[in-house]
Amino acid sequence: MTRPVCCNIVDMPDGRFAVVAVLASGKVFGRTGLPTLAVAEECVELLRAVMAACGAPVVLGAAAPGGTGLRRAFGPPIGRG
């Protein structure tokens, strides 16, 4: 069974956004410099569609597996409900 991919949208200090995805293995992928929250959310939806084709669900706003340092590397995630 394919394990989920944890994903966060991060509010960067310069006012832009980043999308950070963490695989179950702990490998981190990210896209930075996104100008608006809407663009970041579109990136997450694209990731969700691609991963669904692979059979791996995307979990938004979940804690990163293995305690990876998302906050240290990218800043604090923005609130998600």
The two structure tokens encoding residue 39:
């663009």
Whether 17 contacts 36, CB under 8 Å: yes
What is the pairing mode between strands 5-11 and 58-60? parallel
The Cα 74–Cα 69 span in angstroms is 8
- Which residue has tokens 């938004």? 60
Q: What is the pLDDT along the chain (81 residues), one digit of tens a residue?
A: 677 888 888 888 899 999 998 888 888 889 999 999 999 999 989 988 888 888 877 887 754 444 444 444 455 555 543
Handedness of CA 66, 72, 73, 78 (dihedral sign): positive
Enumerate the β-bridge partners of residue 19. 9, 31
